[in-house]
Structure 1
Amino acid sequence: MKTMNGLRVALGVAIAAVSIGAWAQDGASAGALAGTAASASSGMTAKAARQANRALRRKVYAALAKHKEIDAGNISVTAKGGAVMISGTVPEASQINTVTEVVNGVAGVASVTSKLTVQRPFGQ
């Protein structure tokens, strides 16, 4: 009787382990398929997406450099799929809006997130 109960428990544990493993593999393959579908629908490989993001960053930096009233020395630009985030410091509060408007005007920019702050002089 004890042997029979032991076998039932062992069999139950084995079935549970196999079903958990199969479920994890099924979920992983579904995630992989979803990722493949997402990349196929966008039509870009990861390398091409990185190149496009770098090109957009360069265009934004070039646009900022054309505006001499903007001190862009402490501004960082991050681009991902048309969404651009600008961060860093500017010497005057009025430059925050100017920088945001300039970045919005760059071809290929879909949205702009500004995390710019006004630079405080040393000692304050």
Structure 2
Amino acid sequence: MKMMNGLRAALGVAIAAVLISAWAQEGTPAGASSGAALNASGGTTARTARQANRALKRKVYAALAKHKEIDAGDIGVTAKGGAVAISGTVSDASQINTVVEIVKGVAGVTSVTSKLTVQRPFGQ
């Protein structure tokens, strides 16, 4: 009787160890680190996407700042997954196409939507 109780206890411990080990590894691909598992979980992908969008936005502003003939202070930039939307005003109609071409030339930009308008002088 004592022998049976000992075997049952040993078997119970073995089963518990296997279940705990399987539970701890659930969802983690073979050979993947826990950091990779966190990225795959979706918890950090939104954060990574926001960081990438902000970085692309900064690159677009930096590219516009290199062109002194363009007043980028009146231009707003929104980036989402490589798609960039620009809005605001420029002083001359020819600058609209110039701004669009500059933005298209930035690495990571997949499309450009322009809502730029020409700023009218006061009184007209």
Category of TM-score, reference length = shorter chain: 0.5 to 0.7
**In the alignment, does 2:102 pair up with 1:98?**
no
User: What's the counterpart of residue 116 of structure 2?
Assistant: 116
Q: Which residue of 2 aligns with 1:85?
A: 85
What's the secondary structure of 2:72's corresponding residue?
coil
Matches within 5 A, 1:24-43: none
Q: Tell me, in whole angstroms, the C-alpha distance in 2 between the residues paired with 1:48 and 1:82.
A: 13
Summarize deviations over 1:17-69 as a string: whole Å, max 9, x none. xxxxxxxxxxxxxxxxxxxxxxx6x9x71000000000000000000000111
How many aligned positions are there? 84
Q: Which runs of 4+ in 1 moved over 3 A?
A: none
Tell me the equivalent position of 1:73: 73
Q: Which runs of 5+ in 2 are unaligned?
A: 1-39
- How much does 1:85 deviate? 0.1
Computed over aligned residues only, the root mean square deviation of the Cα atoms, in angstroms, reads: 1.7
Note the alpha carbon deviations across 1:63-106, whole angstroms, 9 max, x for none.
Answer: 00001111111000000000000000000000000000000000
TM-score by length of 2: 0.64
| Larger proportion of helix | 1
Query: Letter of the aligned partner of 1:112 in structure 2?
Result: V
How far apart, in 2, do the equivalents of 1:80 and 1:114 lie?
14
- The two structures have a TM-score, normalised by structure 1, of 0.64
Q: How many Å apart are 1:122 and its aligned residue?
A: 1.1
Structure 1 Cα separation of the partners of residues 123 and 48 of structure 2: 46
Identity %: 83
